Structure 1
Amino acid sequence: MLKKRLEGSHGKWVEELHGGLWDYRTTPKTATGEAPYLLVYGSEAIVPTKMHVRTTVSRSTSQEENNELMALSIDLLDEKREAARLRNWSYQQDVARTYNKNVRTRTFQQGDWVLRRAEKTTGKLTPGWEGPYKVIEVRRAGAYRL
């Protein structure tokens, strides 16, 4: 989102950065289901232009009632953070499950010929694999002596 916002500004990215960060901090994230601003401060962010425009909600709430609601919101902040942490953990488990679904485990036996991933490649045209090598010894799951 930040990249998209700053993409069209070319040399004026400094002026656009504050608005882009505001967007990022006040938009609910997929992993937690909450906006980072809410998890830090305990309440939804109010856009500065809405502070000057009186709505039916802001007219019907007195200062004392607003203070009570803010105190209650702060009291419930730990519970919101814990719920967001659990949603994030669940989201990470789903992502890992989806990723690992496509992983194919391969085992090699003594005497098999294999390729080894090259440790250093100097450019995009250099091969990414070295070999072939012969498996001399199977040490443990996934570890071989070539």
Structure 2
Amino acid sequence: MELPIVLWSLRMTPSQATSYMPFFMVYGSEAILPTDLDYGAPRVRAYDEQGAEASLEDAMDQLDEACNDALLRSAKYQQDLCWHHGHLVQGQAFNIGDLVLCLIQDNKNCHRLSLPWEGAYVITEVLRPRTYKLKTIDDRVFINTWNIE
């Protein structure tokens, strides 16, 4: 029973990327809340049937401008995300002797509560940047090389 309320709140919250409400982006107008109709909000009382046709044409022009504005804001938002990731998220480099866990590549026999990591392994050799040779803690050599990208 809560789903319609949650969906309504999501559709009425302005997006961080476009700064427009999803309802506006889909329907091209601001939503009128049921409480606005019940209690006679100023914009409901100011509605004029004769001026609605001219107002609709103006709203259509504003809708094109709003869509272009939302497209530009979304592109800027994505550029900012790329910059943030490229400049602020640092890659990890390991040294010989560091303990690491490896991501399990074949999760065919795993269920959803299984750990996604295996190990611990010790780095024995740095082959090139971000590529390492590993061994288990009890000194058995791990045959494959490990690339952290």
Could you say which TM-score interval applies, normalised by the shorter chain?
Answer: 0.5 to 0.7
TM-score, with structure 2 as normaliser: 0.63
Pairs aligned (count) = 125
Deviation (angstroms), 1:94? 1.6
Match of 1:10 in 2: none
One-letter amino acid of the counterpart of residue 38, structure 1: F
- Cα RMSD (Å): 3.5
Contact 2:101 2:118 in 1 (8 A): no
Contact 1:114 1:134 in 2 (8 A): no
Aligned to 2:65, what secondary structure does the other structure show? Answer: helix
Match of 2:28 in 1: 42
User: 2 CA distance for matches of 1:131 and 1:82?
Assistant: 52
Match of 1:123 in 2: 115
Aligned to 2:124, what secondary structure does the other structure show? Answer: strand
Match of 2:111 in 1: none
TM-score, with structure 1 as normaliser: 0.64
**Structure 1 runs not aligned, ≥5 long:** 1-14
Percent identity of equivalent pairs: 27
Match of 1:83 in 2: 69
One-letter amino acid of the counterpart of residue 126, structure 1: E
Q: Give the helix-richer structure, 1 or 2.
A: 1
